[in-house]
Chains A and B, each alone.
Chain A
Amino acid sequence: MARPSSVTAGGRLTAHLLLFAFFVLAVFPMVWMTFTGMKTREEFTRSIWAPPGGLRLDSFRAILSEPGFRRYYVNNAIVTLGAIALTLAVSAPAAFALGCLRFRGEKTVSIVIVAGLILPVHVTLIPLLKLLGGIGLYDTLSGLIMVHAAFSIPVSVVILRAFFHEIPPAIPDAARVDGCSTIQILLHIMLPLARPALFTVGVFLFVNIWNEFVFALTFLTSPEKKTLPLGLMEFAESHGTDVVSSCAAMTLGAAPLMIVYFLAQKHIVRGLTAGAVSG
């Protein structure tokens, strides 16, 4: 009888083939997009599949030199980082309280937060627009940041709570015996322990918010406040069939995502498994 932990050579081959197929599916569009951005227009019309003739960065440079595009980048960074900071500032303490502490109304708070997960985004657009208009935050980046945070907090709390819950109670208990207050336990013991989980949530939010379109479209109006997805949409429309420029612009738009993902990859893998095996 085969031991459950051992994998046959055939099984391993199948797994690798499947993984390779998945790898191709995931990477191919990005490579194609980057390659296309490096082509000249003639090269592109000759063959859409052939690799570019050289490492040509003219299209990228042209896009980066457009002041509008730089503006979109900056706006997008402000919104994304702001929303992540606000989300983590709220959800880390909340997840700690729900995961490690016991208090009256714990269940109710949990349910209210999880209820936020099932709210469809589109039914909230009109009420949110009225709300933001009423408090003077329509067409401001800070208004958009708050909306993003409001929609990111539930999922962040759920992920982080699972993580805090897995930390053995002996750790905070020991700290308390040593005279730590609750807030000190959170700041000095739990948050450092939770770093992989915070990273995971942060990157997850980064991907979502960096690419977000509908909220930005609804709550921002001034051209100078546009975020990158809005800018890319406009760019694609105004450049029509200029696929090369569009691909270059989209590559530039996706680049921060890829960089963040590569840099944080180690932490993410740890974060996703940490909840399951730490102890």
Chain B
Amino acid sequence: MQNWRLSFPTTCVAIVMGVVLLAGSNGCKRKPASDGGSIQRAAASAKLAFWHIQSYSPTKEVVASAVSRFRARNPGVTVEEVPLSNDPFKQKLKIAMGAGSPPDVFHTWGGGALKSYVDAGRILDLTPALNADPVWRDSLYPRALDFCSFDGKVCAIPTDVTAVGLFYNKAIFERLKLDPPQTFEQLMGCCEKLKAQGVIPFAMGNSDKWPGAFFFAYLATRVGGTGPFRMAASREKDGSFADPCFIRAGEMLQRMVKADAFPPGFNGMNFDQARRLFFTERAGMILMGSWLLAYAGKEAPEMADKIGCVPFPVVENGRGSATTVIGGVNAGYAISSSCANPVAAIALLKELSGEEAARQWAATGRIPALKGDIALAMISPQSAEIAKIVHAADEIQLYYDQALPPRLAEKHKETTQNIFALTTTPDQAAKEMENLALEMAAQK
């Protein structure tokens, strides 16, 4: 009914007008253009894009002050500091890496996630920079550096470590005349006595899966040492996730569940709810990372003197050392291989991991990733117990889920959750893990 030669150009004009109008009103200012270029052409302008996840007080200020010290010392370099929340950061970094435009300096937890970027050739090798500055190198905590090193190459600088400890309520233990448990059997005895007095033995919420995984990792490590996990993860020397130590750890967990060591409905509870049970003194113990103390300072300052911390109990006839700690890197910083100003980026890393920043980190209740004598001297009193446990450790076992590739890590958390929920047997769970590991190894 209508000849199209007329209407088609008309439509085109409408489209072009719309686009021009909008782009003109907003996009054609000079600033966005130069911003946009920064992800590809940082070289000429000496700019560092820096993404991290310290997005709120008090650690936000620690990073901000390190950045401002860096700016004062390097007036020629502009730092674009971008604080992001945890999960959005992971997603944004993944996409930026995929698009080949990662930030110059960025946060990392080390472990498997960092390794995948290292394998893809996206991370700058920091070993030469460390060797060129032995004072810097020797001030860092070697075990934390291990989590950021692959094939002898250091790929990130850790700034603080976390570790899982057995936190207990000193007031409750004193009132019931209990001693913090040193062996698993003593632990079971403690649970029994706490329960008899109407106290929940362990505050634990396992809906997020990771809190329960701490129990599993600790028990497996105490039963079999760190060897079986390392060998199973790297598929060397007949390593297997069906190793007896994993099965026994599962059996011990189910024994705890059946003895009501955990609050009713713990499978549907999250960490927020669980720690509230501990802070309101309805639960006697909590197996948690050192970050618990930061929450305590914020949510239950009156608890400060009541929280004690001991190493996880040993297991009778276990092969694992009593001082091995489950832990990991809480924050570290890596430089992308596409960074146009590696010298400036390394200077920024030094500022972030230096003693001044570490002292401020420590003041927020964290454990700086510096050598024991330096770190322990600056630690805040409430973190002293857990920090001592960390630095007395003969070995630090990285959190299982961080040490494993993502699919296996998810499987580990899922099967552990099922063990806790009594919906699977420890034997079955171990087989499931091993089968997936075999399948993934076969795909390589």
Contacts and interface: CB of A to CB of B under 8 A. Distances in A.
B102 to A, nearest CB: 11
Interface size class of A (residues with CB under 8 A): 35 or more
Given A86-B18, A138-B35, A223 B83 contact: yes
Interface in B72-119: 80, 82-86, 88, 91-92, 95-96, 98-101
A120 interface: no
A89 interface: yes
B14 A217 contact: no
B82 A93 contact: no
A234 B36 CA distance: 24
A182 B2 contact: yes
B26 A140 contact: yes
A132 interface: yes
Given A93-B15, A135-B36, A238-B55, A130 B10 contact: no
B317 interface: no
Nearest to B299: A241
A238 B56 contact: yes
Interface in A212-229: 214, 217-218, 221-223
A221 B25 CA distance: 21
A142 B7 contact: no
A145 B22 contact: yes
Contacts of B40: 133-134
A82 interface: yes
Given A101-B2, A133-B36, A139-B32, A221 B91 contact: no
B37 interface: yes
A100 interface: yes
Contact of B1 (A102, A146, A234, A238): A102
Contacts of A129: 95-96, 98-99, 101
A169 B23 CA distance: 36
Contacts of B7: 97, 101, 103, 182
B36 A90 contact: no
B298 interface: yes
A132 B36 contact: yes
Contacts of A223: 82-83
Nearest to A78: B26
B27 A126 contact: no
A63 interface: no
B132 interface: no
Interface centre among A137, A141, A176 (most CB of B within 10 A): A137
A58 interface: no
A136 B31 CA distance: 10
A169 B26 contact: no
Contacts of B34: 136
A219 to B, nearest CB: 9
A89 B19 CA distance: 9
Nearest to B3: A103
A140 B32 contact: yes
A104 B2 CA distance: 11
A230 interface: yes
B17 interface: yes
A42 B316 CA distance: 47
B26 A136 contact: no
A85 B100 CA distance: 32
A240 interface: yes
Contacts, number: 147
A214 B91 CA distance: 9
Contact of B32 (A94, A126, A137): A137
B36 A142 contact: no
Contacts of B86: 237
Contact of A103 (B8, B32, B51, B299): B8
A97 B35 contact: no
A183 interface: yes
Interface in B1-59: 1-2, 4, 6-8, 10-11, 14-15, 17-19, 21-23, 25-27, 32-37, 39-40, 49, 51, 55-57
Nearest to A181: B6
Residue of A139, A143, A238 with most chain B CB atoms under a 10 A cut-off: A139
Interface in B299-346: 299
B152 to A, nearest CB: 32
B272 interface: yes
Contacts of A102: 1-2, 4
B22 A85 contact: yes
A235 B350 CA distance: 30
Contacts of B91: 214, 217-218
Given A103-B8, A140-B27, A143-B27, A222 B88 contact: no
Among A102, A142, A176, A222, the one with the most B-chain Cβ atoms within 10 Å of its Cβ is A142
Contacts of A62: none
A176 B8 CA distance: 17
Nearest to A137: B36
A90 B95 contact: no
A237 B57 CA distance: 11
Nearest to B60: A238
28 contacts: A82-B22, A85-B18, A86-B22, A89-B14, A90-B18, A97-B7, A101-B7, A102-B4, A104-B4, A125-B95, A126-B95, A126-B98, A130-B100, A133-B39, A136-B32, A138-B36, A139-B32, A139-B35, A139-B39, A143-B27, A181-B6, A182-B6, A221-B49, A223-B82, A234-B56, A234-B84, A237-B55, A237-B85
Given A103-B2, A126-B98, A240-B298, 5 more contacts: A89-B14, A126-B99, A143-B32, A234-B55, A240-B299
Interface of B: 1-2, 4, 6-8, 10-11, 14-15, 17-19, 21-23, 25-27, 32-37, 39-40, 49, 51, 55-57, 80, 82-86, 88, 91-92, 95-96, 98-101, 272, 295, 298-299
Listed from nearest, the 4 A-B pairs whose CB atoms lie closest are: A103-B4, A89-B18, A238-B56, A142-B27
